[in-house]
A and B are shown apart, each in its own frame.
Chain A
């Protein structure tokens, strides 16, 4: 693997000073064809790449380049991959995880984010970038006293730039809505796709949990809150179409479970679901091995799988192939189809992260909310 970046070998022969100069003048990690080379500088005992690519070891050691304090690691990844990672550093028995100090590309998430390497063929979607000339939607917030949850909740609502009081809009309820806004650039995605008329102007309700692992794990109280309290309030406040065919529930990870379970407890309420890397863990026999937080999810999923019914008519599913949930999501497709549900399933060379979910939004939204774009010419 050492010949993947011959200039690096050459620089290392010049010692620390030459390597410092080299690192300043090159983009790190270095991607060439199917391989990515990472380098790290430090007087430490051990360096390793900590990543979340299911199927590969998560603890990949760097090797020190002779005569320097520089370390290197080359790994092969398939083209079009997008990999999130941290660098682990050990010294005197202590271990810390860092963002790669030489890589300016960081993916943010509620846990502080990761460094990112984008392999050949991956492109950050241009439709997810804010565009100065594209009119922006607006956000407004109000509070609702929930009988189901016995507490007050804040609801945030995105209204599209082409929102009209005299038009009836479709509605999308998004679990972890604020995280979608922060980490998926969801506002820019909605602005851009609406402006291009790839999706209709729609009212987007941002739901945010207080106790996510409980509320989103198939909890009936959450479902009741959404369907019996939020939906009627939205219909009272905004000009929306009061029909299942105009309603969509969306979420990622546990948010996918929350979407599915809400639609399942209240059939004929939502015709559309957008489920990203859903945590659809189940067991055929025995115990699951995903930890106690998954207990209620597995319980719900096992019940669901026994009696699928028709929670929705059209379901968009996406999942990264570098996450363990790919198996559950793949097996979910034929189950849903067997019950007459139209399914669109998209896999990506990515992991369980917000940018993976961002990158699939255009495909999901345009499939669930088709617009006769064909007929429009500006």
Chain B
């Protein structure tokens, strides 16, 4: 029984302690997190002939359809003269969310063998699913950059906001991922609720219309309710920064940030509370 000293105790995080420092554990398992992200990415594309090209094609198809439809149907004047960039700035954050939440919801079930038989902080499962999608976001940002180049929109110092805005979305997604994956262990319908929710969300998110139209159309209290959708603030902020070279509106992005932090906190607590019983339920 050698080496029972203090320093080694703190290293022994792979132990079954429930009264433990989970943040520290997740940090110690960062290499496992990285390998899970790699796994997710590799197995997704290894059996596809077009591979990563799909994450270029999917948004392009959607963009093409929207531009085609709106060039025939002109309900009002276009929200912005650069309609393609306007649409992309709405679609990228929404795609990030709609590509992430279904696999995040299912991640505990999908990794049932691991959860039942291997000891590691389960928190890294939903986190890895979210992080794995960053590659697709970057590819779509690449498409956006090409459109910006053609539109002769050059980067300015205001663009420093862009990574910060995506950081807010990352918080939203990790928080939601933890809540939904824990819920899905107990209620397998969660995945279907999420899928229906995503369809609804498209219309309650300023993707094909600007946020300003919502503000003009509804009463102030209803507009505030609308803003509780963190994507509203995220998309509006991106458009302000890139299309108008203005910083985000403090209240709008602020509210999104508050929602993100709340989701992260609640997600972490719910997940930590339910995680010891996952193995019993799957």
A, B co-complexed? no
By a beta-carbon cutoff of 8 Å, the part of chain B in contact with chain A is none
